[in-house]
Structure 1
Amino acid sequence: MKNQFYIIMAAQALSSLADNALFIAAISMILENSGPEWAIPFMKWFFALAYVVLAPFAGTLSDRFPKGQVMLVANFIKLSGCFIMLFCNFLSNLNSINCFIIIISYGLVGIGAAIYSPAKYGIVTEILDPESLVKGNSWIEGLTVLSIILGTCLGSYLLSSKISYYLLLNHSVFKFATSKSEAAILVILLIYLLSAIFNILITKTNIKYPESSINFNNLTINFYKNVSTLWKDKIGKISLSVTTIFWGVSASLQIIVIEWSQQHLEYSLDQTYALIGTVAIGTIIGAIIVAKIVILKKALYVLPIGIIIGLIMLLMPLINKLSHAYILLLAIGTLSGFFVVPLNAILQHRGRILLSAGNSIAVQNFNEQLNVLLMVSIYTLLSWMQVKIDTIIVIYSLLVIISMSLFTYWNHRNISYRNM
């Protein structure tokens, strides 16, 4: 792997780490402000909405300018959202206003993430040859998932009483913070700044794409043509369908696991990092294994793993012991890493052939985040209807099992690997 690849990995991992740590810190800030229950899934909803709204423009922006520069600008947009969340909480004593600002600020972080993503994945396709894409994606996808989980862990760790009191009492930089969540967000600001330093170190690849119009109507029309192109491709259709379902359910599970651990294991918010860290270990294991044994042409052979993931999720309501929870989440993490890495690699490969690096990732983000909106909305509705968390888990598990069974059957009947 080239040195630039490792710099890109470091930049995106730190940025993603901060995004997810901020999500946990923002939850804590909402709770400190006595915010309503619906405010938490709404944060996730607004984050995903940014991807959907900006999808027609993010890919073109990524291809029009050097991707390292796009990543740098996007990172500072994220940092701005983080700063606004913190600064307005300092000034306002009105709980309702604070909760609204927290939701909008995290949505601004979503705007940065929506711009960041096509550049992050697109530059990987520019510096690696197709034969290295599965291996490269195993690294970058493993680090992305790891940063998501470790970001959740970090956010929880920073909110623990021991760490937050240490920060508030012993460091002058935290003298303006008045709560655990504010101290945590100050640390997260520093992580965004560190990510920006790595973004600056990314050099231009000198790959040029055809000039495209920046007219709003033309961009929108061209984007939906790109969406249609990828959906009409046999391999693109199935890989896009599967990853769309996977990430939609994964986003909901990030919220579900917090509630599940509180009810079944009597965990508090700041204790979830130990439990969720188990998924990170499993994801790394799965990503490492799949990089060694699955090549690009055989990527769709992992589809039955999705069915197994759904079956294991069905066991969650039966878990009441901490040791059993660790084993279960380790299995889910390992299988998820093994499952999603090859599918992302093949989707990016087909996308670059049919479209371009940036535009293909924008199409992927649009579909996946649109499903995140749907899945999180369903969770919010079920919670509002006071459906028990165990029932919600069963609903999502059955969704995974049924959809992955259909995709596996359809792939077995229709896909020809010779045309990959």
Structure 2
Amino acid sequence: MTLKMKMKPLQTLYVTQFLSAFADNMILFITLAIIKQSAFPAYYIGVVQASFLVAFVILAPFVGAYADKNAKSHVLLVGNAIKGIGIIALFLHLDPAVSYGIVGIGAAVYSPAKYGILPSLTKSDHELLKANARIEGYTIMAILLGSVCGGILAQFSLTGSILVCLGLYLVSLLMSLQIPKIAGNATIRYGKEAKAFVNDVAFLLKNRTTRFSLVGTGSFWMTSSVVRLAIIAWVPAHLGIESVDQISMLVAVTGIGIMIGALLTPKLIPARKYYNSFVFGIVMIVSILLFPLISNLYVTIGLLLLIGFSGGVFIVPMNTVLQDKGQRMIGAGKTIAVQNLLENAMMLAGVGIYTQISADGLSPDSSITGIAVILAGFVGYLILQRQRLKLIA
């Protein structure tokens, strides 16, 4: 009976996160359609993506404290409301980068609560790993379906697709009201916490286990963000596919792989052996390096699935150990905020460099090869740390 009561709020959280992430990813491909329709330069999709990431970097010192001070279900509600304002801005024809930037603010507020509430809704390391795997799986499913639906709906009606996004955020907002209101720490002061944020970053980076996780998750999301943008340019060049809906379907294939990998992670990498996840990082690198060599649709689909699968198994164990250890060290919300800062700073750097070199005319093949080499450097670091982590795990 207790287990059922515990699972119900978790299931509500999964649905809330699914709907919110679904809309987040619809917007990117709706924006891609707007860019094509309004004759923006092709590289402007990188500018739009960067505007989304900036909010995470700037707000990182504050959103973790906000998530820990307030009931996390309330924070989820606020995050979705801000995302809705971003959609309204897009509906009113504000610049896509500005509109998506507002959505980014909502996502930055939403994220610490989404992950930070999991330790409160689970009872053990194993349950936390399973909850992480499921929320990651549902998130990737949302990326998959949201990307496809965004591309398809934008082909029929930009206005209609924008209204669908707004509706999804509103439903997600209402669903968050069903998640238990677990009181936060009312004694937290934002000014003090913002000043302490630098110390939190240093504290988590100093610890060998949390540093391993932060490097691993940051390198994964940096790679994913660049590969996603590069594939949007690579598909027309290698496969001759130009339509937004078909490109969105191909990009979403990676999401299928990540979802499968995330859901199978508890069977492949036990929570206490998170340090072995580097193996799947190597598989991801090799898969990415093959892209410049292919021009067949079915081989492309197979590689995208493999990249996604290996990436899913690579990231979930590191997320789990970071949340478990970080909650005990500095608090769940602040841990996720530090993670968001480092991940999004790395993503912003990757997207920024990609946007600049795309504007300068460098080919998607070069971008894809370059990001694989950078990921290899990070995975190499993880391999060097593995033996020491085995001794303290």
**TM-score tier (shorter):** over 0.9
Counterpart position of 1:280: 255
1:30 paired with 2:24, answer no
Name the CA distance, whole Å, in 2 between partners of 1:204 and 1:219. Answer: 23
TM-score by length of 2: 0.94
Residues 151 and 248 in structure 2, CA contact (< 8 A), matched pair in contact too = yes
**Cα displacement (A) at 1:402:** 2.5
Q: Which stretch of the first structure deviates more once superposed, 271-280 or 359-368?
A: 271-280
Name the SS of the counterpart of 1:348 in structure 2: helix
TM-score by length of 1: 0.89
Identify which of 81, 84, 90 aligns with 1:85: 90
Residues 26 and 181 in structure 1, CA contact (< 8 A), matched pair in contact too = no
1:128 paired with 2:122, answer yes
Residues 51 and 98 in structure 2, CA contact (< 8 A), matched pair in contact too = yes
1:209 paired with 2:185, answer yes
Name the CA distance, whole Å, in 2 between partners of 1:323 and 1:219. Answer: 51
1:398 paired with 2:392, answer no
Name the CA distance, whole Å, in 2 between partners of 1:408 and 1:289. Answer: 22
Read off the aligned partner of 2:366 and give its amino acid letter.
T
Counterpart position of 1:108: 102
**Cα displacement (A) at 1:417:** 4.7
Counterpart position of 2:172: 195
Aligned Cα RMSD in Å? Answer: 1.5
1:229 paired with 2:209, answer no
Name the SS of the counterpart of 2:177 in structure 1: helix
Read off the aligned partner of 1:40 and give its amino acid letter.
I
Name the CA distance, whole Å, in 2 between partners of 1:238 and 1:74. Answer: 29
Residues 58 and 118 in structure 1, CA contact (< 8 A), matched pair in contact too = yes
**Cα displacement (A) at 1:212:** 1.6
Identity %: 33
Name the CA distance, whole Å, in 1 between partners of 2:35 and 2:154. Answer: 13
Residues 51 and 111 in structure 1, CA contact (< 8 A), matched pair in contact too = yes
Count residues in correspondence.
Answer: 386
Name the SS of the counterpart of 2:292 in structure 1: helix
Name the SS of the counterpart of 1:37 in structure 2: coil
Counterpart position of 1:261: 235
Name the CA distance, whole Å, in 2 between partners of 1:137 and 1:49. Answer: 25
The structure with the largest alpha-carbon Rg is 1
Post-superposition CA distance 1:339-388 (Å, at most 9, x none): 11111111111211111011100000000001011000110121122111
Name the CA distance, whole Å, in 2 between partners of 1:402 and 1:202. Answer: 41
Q: Give the gaps of 5 or more residues in structure 2.
A: 1-5
- Measured at CA, do residues 362 and 270 of structure 1 come closer, stay the same or move farther in structure 2, by a change above 3 Å? same
1:354 paired with 2:329, answer yes
Counterpart position of 1:170: none
Residues 242 and 404 in structure 1, CA contact (< 8 A), matched pair in contact too = yes
Name the CA distance, whole Å, in 2 between partners of 1:120 and 1:239. Answer: 18
Name the SS of the counterpart of 1:2 in structure 2: helix
